[in-house]
Amino acid sequence: MEQEVMQAIRAELESNIDAKYREFHSSLVPGQNCRILGVRIPVLRRIAKATARDHYEVYTEQFNPEVYEELLIRGMMIGYGKLTREEQTAELDRFVPMINSWGICDSSCATCHFMKKEQEYWYGYLQKWLKSSREYEIRFGVVCLLDFFINEAYIDAVLEEMKKIHHDGYYVKMAVAWAVSICYIHFPEKTQKLLKENSLDYWTHNKTIQKIRESLRISKEEKEMLKTWKR
């Protein structure tokens, strides 16, 4: 029965392969140990929701990914499963060290809507990933802050966390730049203060300004002002 479940999920993945999408997505997430089939995210979300509902324990106990999408489903299921807070915590502890690309990281983070509730607990939980020395573990923490904690209660804390992160990994720097740019859109005055302090490294500072200036929610005048803040 368990083997039948895994075979059925693989068969569904293989029946939804999009060759053009595979070629496009493979160029965005290089260096994968697992091959990429090329299944689009909405399809993966549908499969992950159904698997979390009907076969959560089977999938996690039998988990031995051979393709990229199987790892992505494993991460998405944590947000879709009917789990207690303790179970969610244990599942993230198991899954986050498996993350090996920004695509796996960001799509998995996006399903963790439970972090909108009990924010004090989840903010505390993310600290260990933010303090990690591993690129994708840090990115997981940053993207979760970006997705669920840019609000009145946590904006000051989030900006402080961004200042503390010092890691040379490209996907960490990009995540911090992305997060600070979203902070700017929602809380411009507080974020301007951070940028004026020059507390981010040069590359991340300039990438942040670039990403803010790319936003359609920023006025032309503000974009010109920000241009002068580049280092």
CB count within 10 Å of CB 2 equals: 12
What phi-psi label fits residue 170: left (phi over 0), alpha (psi between -120 and 50 degrees) or beta? alpha
- Cβ contact 182:208 at 8 Å: no
Give the rounded distance of the alpha carbon of 56 from its chain centre.
22
**How sure is the predictor about 66, in pLDDT bands with cuts at 50, 70 and 90?**
confident
Dump pLDDT digits (tens) for 160-219: 999 999 999 999 999 999 999 999 999 999 999 999 998 999 999 999 999 999 999 999
Q: Which residues contact 122 (CB under 8 A, 6 or more apart)?
A: 114, 115, 144, 148
Q: How many CB atoms lie within 10 A of CB 86?
A: 8
Residue 13: which pLDDT band, with cuts at 50, 70 and 90?
A: very high
Length of the chain: 231
Query: Which amino acid belongs to residue 127?
Result: Q
Q: What does DSSP assign to residue 230?
A: -
Q: Which two tokens stand for residue 206?
A: 């300039």
113-151: pLDDT as tens digits: 999 999 999 999 999 999 999 999 999 999 999 999 999
Does the pTM surpass 0.85? The reply is: yes
Residues 67 and 74: their CA atoms lie apart, in Å, by 12
Q: Provide the pLDDT confidence category of residue 152 given band limits of 50, 70 and 90.
A: very high
**Of 1-10, 26-35, 39-48, 222-231, highest mean pLDDT:** 39-48
What is the rounded CA–CA span in Å between residue 229 and residue 200?
A: 13
Residue corresponding to tokens 């004090």: 120
Confirm if 152 and 120 have CB atoms less than 8 A apart. no
Single out the residue of 141, 54, 66 nearest to residue 106, CA to CA.
Answer: 141
pLDDT band, residue 1 (cuts 50/70/90): low
From 76, 80, 64, select the one nearest 106 (Cα to Cα).
Answer: 76
Q: Is the dihedral of CA 29, 35, 41, 44 positive or negative?
A: negative
How many beta carbons lie within 10 A of that of residue 53, not counting itself?
12
| 125, 93 Cβ separation under 8 angstroms | no
Task: Check if the beta carbon of residue 70 is closer than 8 Å to that of residue 13.
Answer: yes
